[in-house]
Structure 1
Amino acid sequence: MLKRLSSIRYSYIRSHLHGVFLTTLTLLSILLSIYVLIAPNWLNAVSIFVFILFYVMLAVVISIYAGFKSSGELKERLDYLSVLITQFSNGNYHSRIYFNEDDEITRIANELNKLGERLQDQVKSLQRMADEKADFAKSAHKAATIEERQRLARDLHDAVSQQLFALTMMSESALRQFDKNPDVAKDQLKDVANSALQAQTEMRALLLHLRPVHLSGEPLPIGIRKLVEELKQKSTLDFTVVIDEKLSITETTEEHVFRIIQESFSNTLRHAAATEVKLEISLRSNELFIFISDNGKGFNVDEDTSRKTSYGLKTMKERSEELGGTFKIRSIQGEGTNIEIRIPC
């Protein structure tokens, strides 16, 4: 209620009532001066009181009406400016506003329109830089792939190949001892089983390094659904996924969004202790809207309670801003975490 009384409309009404108060004091002073100095027959204390009373009642009604009407247009124009600023803060830089009047508010509106154009140009520049960065990343990825293949080849030779060679030698030795000394052969077979298990572990570790962390040319909805299916097999999380299948965004944006979602799921698995995860991706008013939530234990966003979690959130925020978007996170301890991302398209 107090906030409403401090609005521009009620400020106008208070200004008019202040004028009524000052005018009433002035009239009362004049009438009392005439009454004291001249003392005409037609002027007495009762007539002064009645005149002032009716004047105040009429002036208050007129002041409220005049203040309400005169502030209506100004309030409406200020509301338009407020909505435009809100659109800019949400990443919708296409919005514009125009007034026919030639006054200060119109000049402010024109400046905001120019600001929106500059912000829109900056978003395009950011996305163009992201595309160029993606091209450089592809070149670097090719070099990294060759280097990774060489490293894996060395690891295969140093670890798995040597273990397989040892398995062959131990198996042949166990076969020779099988008839002569069964107990020794049994111990050697146990060593063979342990070595085989170790080799299998080494192989799984190497295969884990080969798992792609990008879309590999697939559309974003397909890549995300594959990621979710894989996580369902490796965890007990219950996923609810809603994705607009007709998304039309650049390849660079798809890669960044995929990595953001991947990082978010990783944080949920490691830190949230959640049972349900919801993901929504859709196009809204020329912007890509991403909503991720879980029912985990939550955390205090203002406190850096976990370096790993804060690093992951920082990475997600940087990727969103690199595309000219906004990143907002809300979390309540014991009630889960919500993430909203808006990226201009």
Structure 2
Amino acid sequence: MDSKEKELYTAILIATLIIAAILLYFIFSIIWYQKKYRSLSKAKISAEITTLENERKRIASDLHDDVGPLLSAIKIQINHLDGQNEAEAALIRKSSKYIDDIIKRMREISNDLLPNVLIRKGLAAAIQDFLGKMNDSDSLKITFTCPQEQRVPANVEVNVYRIVQEIVHNTVKHAEATHLQIQLVIDEHMLRLASEDNGKGFDYKEMIAKNGGLGLLNLQSRAEVMGGEFDFTTEKSKGTRYLFEIPLKKSV
């Protein structure tokens, strides 16, 4: 190999190393930015969910603590009125009945925003209460099992409760199922939530093309906020299965 060939070889080698270094730089940059984006995206989703739940809590508290007593006071005042004739007395009775209906509906809204049973008795009891109401009002038969009931951190209880609501609503709205099974298993280190329906299932790619898979994204976001994992399997005419695994931190 003469000197010119050596120079050419050296130049090619240097050029190759430079190109390789540039490619590696871009590859590592892309990986770094992807990790950074995921981190920022997760933080943004977490902040949005926290803001949403705090707003729900505030509205529920306002309805329960402020609006409720005010309506009750108005009802008492109305009931103390004496109608001058039967028409006025009937109007008073009707107004009192309207206020009763408003108070009842307001309590339902407040409970939907933040169920009292979730605060007082915990996740399993709140899910059982919610599913009991769904079983009363829909043709879908829902069975729920929880071998061991125990309290978990409040943010986990709220997010898992919302996940159950999302699964049930999606099943009622889209699955055309007659049976939905939900199981909640809690141990010292892990919370596992599994569900399975006998509905029509769905085509994942088709669903993404139609509406972007918003329901699945909501479930995924809730799981990620808790540092957990989410998986699902579905086939047309063979139902849908969801699995959530949420790590539980030991209390100090």
TM-score tier (shorter): 0.5 to 0.7
Q: Does 1:272 align with 2:183?
A: no
The Cα shift of 1:137 comes to: 8.2
Residue in structure 2 matched with residue 210 of structure 1 by the alignment: 110
TM-score (norm 2): 0.58
User: Is the contact made by 2:142 and 2:180 (CA closer than 8 Å) also made in structure 1?
Assistant: yes
Q: Aligned pair in 2 of structure 1 residues 299, 196: CA closer, same or farther (>3 Å)?
A: farther
Residue in structure 1 matched with residue 31 of structure 2 by the alignment: none
Q: Aligned pair in 2 of structure 1 residues 203, 326: CA closer, same or farther (>3 Å)?
A: same
Q: Aligned pair in 2 of structure 1 residues 149, 286: CA closer, same or farther (>3 Å)?
A: closer
Residue in structure 2 matched with residue 63 of structure 1 by the alignment: none
SS at match of 1:224: helix
Distance between the aligned counterparts of 1:284 and 1:150, measured in 2?
A: 36
Q: State the superposition RMSD in angstroms.
A: 4.6
The Cα shift of 1:140 comes to: 6.0
Matched residue type, 1:274: A
Which sections of structure 2, spanning at least 5 residues, go unmatched?
A: 1-41
Q: Aligned pair in 2 of structure 1 residues 146, 282: CA closer, same or farther (>3 Å)?
A: closer
The Cα shift of 1:156 comes to: 4.5
The Cα shift of 1:151 comes to: 7.5
Residue in structure 1 matched with residue 215 of structure 2 by the alignment: 312
Residue in structure 2 matched with residue 222 of structure 1 by the alignment: 125
Q: Aligned pair in 2 of structure 1 residues 175, 152: CA closer, same or farther (>3 Å)?
A: closer
Alignment of 1:1-345 (within 5 A): 143-145=58-60, 147-148=62-63, 152=67, 156=71, 172-174=84-86, 201-212=101-112, 213-214=114-115, 215-245=118-148, 247=150, 249-283=152-186, 286-302=189-205, 303-304=207-208, 307=211, 310-345=213-248
Distance between the aligned counterparts of 1:138 and 1:315, measured in 2?
A: 14
Residue in structure 1 matched with residue 17 of structure 2 by the alignment: none
Distance between the aligned counterparts of 1:200 and 1:331, measured in 2?
A: 45
User: Is the contact made by 1:320 and 1:326 (CA closer than 8 Å) also made in structure 2?
Assistant: yes
Q: Aligned pair in 2 of structure 1 residues 173, 284: CA closer, same or farther (>3 Å)?
A: closer
The Cα shift of 1:153 comes to: 5.8
Distance between the aligned counterparts of 1:228 and 1:250, measured in 2?
A: 22
Identity of paired residues, percent? 20
Which sections of structure 1, spanning at least 5 residues, go unmatched?
A: 1-125, 177-187
Residue by residue, what CA displacement relative to the aligned partner does 1:27-68 show, whole Å, maximum 9, x if unpaired?
xxxxxxxxxxxxxxxxxxxxxxxxxxxxxxxxxxxxxxxxxx
User: Is the contact made by 1:301 and 1:330 (CA closer than 8 Å) also made in structure 2?
Assistant: no
Residue by residue, what CA displacement relative to the aligned partner does 1:62-94 show, whole Å, maximum 9, x if unpaired?
xxxxxxxxxxxxxxxxxxxxxxxxxxxxxxxxx
User: Is the contact made by 1:221 and 1:245 (CA closer than 8 Å) also made in structure 2?
Assistant: no
Residue by residue, what CA displacement relative to the aligned partner does 1:127-169 show, whole Å, maximum 9, x if unpaired?
xxx8xx97x8887666545544587369949xxx69x96xx79
Residue by residue, what CA displacement relative to the aligned partner does 1:108-139 show, whole Å, maximum 9, x if unpaired?
xxxxxxxxxxxxxxxxxx9xxx8xx97x8887
Aligned residues: 202
The Cα shift of 1:203 comes to: 4.2
Residue by residue, what CA displacement relative to the aligned partner does 1:309-343 show, whole Å, maximum 9, x if unpaired?
94333222101011121112222233322111122
User: Is the contact made by 1:272 and 1:296 (CA closer than 8 Å) also made in structure 2?
Assistant: yes
Matched residue type, 2:138: S
Distance between the aligned counterparts of 1:138 and 1:267, measured in 2?
A: 20
Deviates more, 1:230-239 or 1:259-268: 230-239
